[in-house]
């Protein structure tokens, strides 16, 4: 019997000849951020560890609260910087060179197709968009991995999603994943791999693929993955430049034709409209046309889900020569300095500023209700982020809707949830 792509990666990482239900697997890269990694450092010290497994295969990305919003945030970054200096960890990133981790780490060439990656952040699953096996772990797990370089994993079953048909204008990977979560629910892929495939995915750009794998966790998935192809290699060469070092064979990073799947789900996207997830679950999805009377206080375009350059290009295309609704807060968050620089080079930042948006340095801040866009009681936001749970962006009596950058930009102009064709 054949193996899925994730099973192949785990088998190789285990060093065994056959795959068992549980594997002790060698990790290619492990990372944490300025919220989760300080806890890992604390557990590392508590356990009495005095060395790390590889100074080049551990990363700390201070992306949630830098520039520091308070003393706690400043201390967290200092804890990581001190630890990195003590153990000579090469990949410490703070405000001088940083970005939203799930975008930034790929840019830095630290994650490659076929790699086994663990991160102390639930959206580590994003990295499956380039064909990596990427799993979110707890801070204690990260502490152990930093020492041992390996971790125990229960081998997950895989659900294969096959997307057919033709994507209509304005549709993106974000619409596909919102629609999918709406169909299967927030527990529909519990501890499963969501393998995205089919002719629609094959034509989908890498930024859109990464948006889809990013939200696998919102369906309860252990991770998401797309088989890498030549467009994956081209994408990595373009964004990594001299950092590009992948020397493996893309042809080997495929699920076998006789691989066993827990389920195969086919989805025809031909009649799909832009999707919006309504409060308070990512699965509470509706077509944008059903929500045209929802007024907004804030729009956020960015995050590890939709803060890449193609996302900003789409938003700028809609906002060009227009103004956002008076009184509406519109926050643009390029996901890394390189994306910010590219957006500036292409004139996108100017478009956003002339439309009266606020452009922020790369941060996860508003997505988790941390800073840079907190909602007060009764306020309503539309965001290109990945979660809209109760209190996610601030007050427990606020409301968060999720959408693609196209819908978010159109809605920013009208001040209400709006189809892009309406502006």
Distances (CA, A) of 230 to 234, 235, 289: 6, 9, 36
Question: What is the reported pLDDT for 96?
Answer: 77
58-61/223-225 β-pairing? unpaired
pLDDT of residue 248: 85
Residue 35 sits at the vertex; the CA angle it makes with 33 and 41, to the nearest 5 degrees, is 75
pTM: 0.95
What is the rounded distance in angstroms from the CA atom of residue 240 to the CA atom of residue 266?
A: 34
Q: Strands of 223-225's sheet, edge to edge?
A: 223-225, 192-197, 157-164, 263-268
Per residue in 307-324, pLDDT (tens digit) is: 999 999 999 999 999 999
pLDDT class of 5 with cuts at 50, 70, 90: very high
Task: Give the model's pLDDT for residue 95.
Answer: 84
CB of 2 closer than 8 Å to CB of 260: yes
309-327: burial string, b at 16+ Cβ within 10 Å, e else: bbbbbbbbebbeeeebbee
Fold agreement (5-267, 275-422): yes
H-helix or E-strand spanning residue 32: strand 29-33
Q: Where are the beta strands (DSSP E) in 133-240?
A: 133-136, 150-154, 157-164, 192-197, 223-225
**Burial class of residue 50 in the structure, from the number of CB atoms within 10 Å of its CB (0-12 exposed, 13-18 middle, 19+ buried):** exposed
User: Does pLDDT of 247 surpass 90?
Assistant: no
Taking only the tens place, the pLDDT of each residue in 199-246 is: 999 999 999 999 999 999 999 999 999 999 999 999 999 999 999 989
CATH code: domain 275-422 is: 3.30.499.10
CA distances from residue 153 to 91, 103, 107, 216, 221 in whole angstroms, order as listed: 25, 24, 27, 18, 14
Task: Name the pairing type of β-strands 157-164 and 263-268.
Answer: parallel
pLDDT tens sequence across 18-62: 999 999 999 999 999 999 999 999 999 999 999 999 999 999 999
Distance CA(240)–CA(229), nearest Å, equals 17
Is residue 188 within 8 Å of 62, Cβ to Cβ? no
Q: Which CATH architecture has domain 5-267?
A: 2-Layer Sandwich (3.30)
The token duo for 81 is: 């910087």
Cα separation of 65 and 371, whole Å? 7
Look-up of token digits 């000579």: 88
Spell out the domain ranges in the chain.
5-267, 275-422
């Amino acid at each position: 019997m054949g193996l899925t792509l994730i099973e192949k990666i785990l088998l190789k990482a285990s060093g065994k000849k056959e795959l068992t239900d549980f594997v002790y697997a060698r990790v290619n890269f492990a990372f944490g951020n300025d919220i989760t990694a300080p806890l890992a450092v604390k557990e590392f010290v508590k356990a009495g560890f005095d060395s790390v497994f590889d100074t080049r295969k551990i990363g700390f990305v201070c992306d949630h609260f830098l520039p520091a919003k308070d003393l706690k945030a400043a201390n967290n970054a200092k804890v990581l910087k001190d630890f990195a200096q003590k153990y000579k960890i090469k990949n410490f990133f703070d405000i001088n060179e940083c970005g939203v981790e799930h975008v930034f780490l790929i840019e830095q060439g630290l994650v490659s197709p076929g790699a086994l990656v663990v991160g102390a952040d639930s959206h580590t699953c994003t990295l499956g968009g380039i064909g990596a096996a990427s799993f979110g772990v707890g801070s204690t797990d990260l502490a152990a991995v930093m020492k041992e370089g390996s971790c125990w994993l229960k081998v997950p079953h895989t659900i294969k999603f096959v997307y057919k048909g033709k994507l209509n204008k304005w549709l993106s990977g974000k619409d596909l994943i919102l629609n999918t979560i709406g169909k299967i629910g927030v527990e529909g892929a519990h501890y499963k791999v969501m393998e995205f495939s089919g002719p629609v995915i094959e034509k989908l750009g890498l930024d859109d693929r990464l948006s889809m794998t990013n939200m696998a966790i919102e369906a309860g998935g252990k991770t998401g993955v797309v088989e890498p192809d030549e467009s994956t290699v081209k994408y990595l060469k373009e964004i990594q430049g001299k950092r590009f070092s992948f020397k493996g064979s893309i042809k080997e990073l495929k699920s076998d034709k006789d691989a066993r799947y827990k389920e195969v789900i086919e989805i025809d996207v031909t009649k799909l409209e832009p999707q919006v997830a309504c409060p308070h679950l990512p699965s509470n999805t509706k077509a944008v046309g059903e929500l045209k009377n929802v007024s907004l206080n804030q729009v956020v375009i960015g995050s590890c889900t939709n803060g890449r350059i193609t996302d900003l290009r789409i938003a700028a295309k809609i906002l060009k020569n227009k103004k956002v609704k008076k009184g509406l807060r519109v926050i643009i968050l390029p996901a890394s300095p390189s994306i910010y620089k590219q957006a500036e080079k292409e004139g996108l930042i100017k478009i956003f500023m002339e439309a009266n948006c606020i452009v922020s340095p790369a941060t996860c801040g508003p997505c988790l209700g941390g800073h840079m866009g907190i909602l007060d009681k009764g306020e309503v936001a539309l965001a290109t982020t990945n979660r809209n749970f109760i209190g996610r962006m601030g007050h427990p009596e606020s409301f968060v809707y999720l959408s693609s950058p196209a819908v978010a930009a159109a809605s920013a102009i009208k001040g209400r949830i709006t189809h892009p064709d309406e502006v």
